[in-house]
Structure 1
Amino acid sequence: MTRTGNSLSPFSNLTKEALHLRPPVQTTVPTSSTTYTRTVKTQGRIDVAKCALAAHFNNTRINPNPAQDTNARRYLVGLQKFNKKKNVDEEIQAQPLTVQELSTLMNGLAGMHPFVGSLLRLLLAVGFPGCFRISEVLNFRYNDVQLVSEGSGRYLSVRIRWHKKANVEEDCQIYHLVDETTYPCLRVCTFHEEYLSTLRVSGANMSSTTFVFPNFVFQHGDVPHVDWQRPLEQNVLRKVLSDVVEMIPNLPIGISLHSLRRGGVFYRVFESTERRFNFRELMAWCRW
């Protein structure tokens, strides 16, 4: 069986029929293709058949992969850049972050500046079990977050504003986040205490309206310049997390900011052993 003989002829006929290069025969193309493929596979000649198909495409100058075409590739690259700039598909195609990946991501922050590391650990610990949107977390002010200790234990009370222009006392919703001892990365109260200790060491003076997660810019020597009057920008957060993800081979590159919320929802419903939700409770908890 040679490439120019028995193998190429059936494939040539099938591809011509599929591309409407000549009137089709009585037998349909899918049936013929399936029959021929099954035949060469049972006879152990599938590799020769693949070579014959590739040779036929080369001889007829047909590109079987549109993504390799120059114009198609240019279009795909432009579309990816547009989606990244406009954040079109991040929420739709975000890969859910597992609790194990969250733990690995937090461990990857150990080499960063102490202030930035403690800030990001608290941000991740709040956003994941709370199933909050990243914009909601970044808009927390100091009078929105409080560590509460009671006889039954302690929890982190967070107040989410319904809208950036709304009055907090009149239009808000309060959530209580407790430490989940199953995973150290979900001990939100512990990370809150760590963050406050870092702030006390830095000597920063915060008012009740100061943002919990302020914006920062790295200067020379990886020392952050902090702007307490502005919330952390999503582009800055996205850049820092993507750098950490690229340095750790165990983390998928598809992690985005919305992965935190989507992964937290999955964890609350299917994996949590201490604060598991059913779907009705989840819909009442999350503001979709």
Structure 2
Amino acid sequence: MTTSTTTYTLTGSCPTRLGVLDLIIGTLYRNQCYAYEMHSFDDTDIGRFFFRVEFYHVGDGEFSEEELRLQFADRAEPFEMNWELSDTSTPEKVVILVSKFDHCLQDLLHRYSTGALNIEIPAIISNHPDLQRMADWYEIPYYRLPVTEDTKPQQEARMLEIIREVEADLVVLARYMQILSEDLCKQLHGKAINIHHSLLPGFKGAKPYHQAYEKGVKLVGATAHYVSEDLDEGPIIFQNVEHVDHTYTPERLVAKGRDTERLVLARAIKLHTEKRCFLNGNKTVVFPGH
């Protein structure tokens, strides 16, 4: 018996129905595929089943991805299943939006260059020229699209044009300090991730970390979520917090917050690109990863 070095991910969701696990595992078994990682969740509130399986071929004969697709599609149709089969080695194309703060962009470019994130970055889009040199260092095209109240519709149209030209799978707002229009949010539904601070209690407006310092905050954190029409209220992918104490100056709070933002954003991108995230109304189903 031979074992394939190619691994695949099968993901999907369907209405809760008897026999769905047999459909998934049975189809893989009949195609001599070994499922080495499997997660599932049944949302009893809405009666919907979510699953993610990683597998590889272990049989002696030839393996046909197309044949597996055809068989699975035929058997999944009565279950009204939305599903996707993908090769885990194929990188996702990620377009990054950024303004002047460089900490998230720097982190993502490093993880991209070292292979820590299985992604390609075909474009970086900014409303400022400040980070052009960083993009040039990594030989990534940098598009400057200055935004004013008058130019915003045209610049968003150009942004969407670039995203489509490079066939991006995901858009990441790596501290992009512009509010996307409702129309653009709808166009990027489920395919755009944003990052922002999560100070407890919450502080909005200018200099949130200075506000937090004045209130003696003991926790700082960050939230990565899918972009939605409601500002900073999209379905949450990943969150984390860090403890701070009375010795933290506003500057140290800012530094701690930026560190947390970097880690949380990178984690969210990894979860998304590994097909571990599922939109579930205003919430998400997120299966654990490494």
Q: So what's the TM-score if we normalise by structure 2?
A: 0.19
Higher CA-based Rg: 1
Q: Which has the higher contact order (CA 8 A, sep 6+)?
A: 1
Instruction: Give the number of the structure whose residues are more often strand, by fraction.
Output: 2
The structure with more helix, counted as a fraction of residues: 1
TM-score w.r.t. the length of structure 1 is 0.19
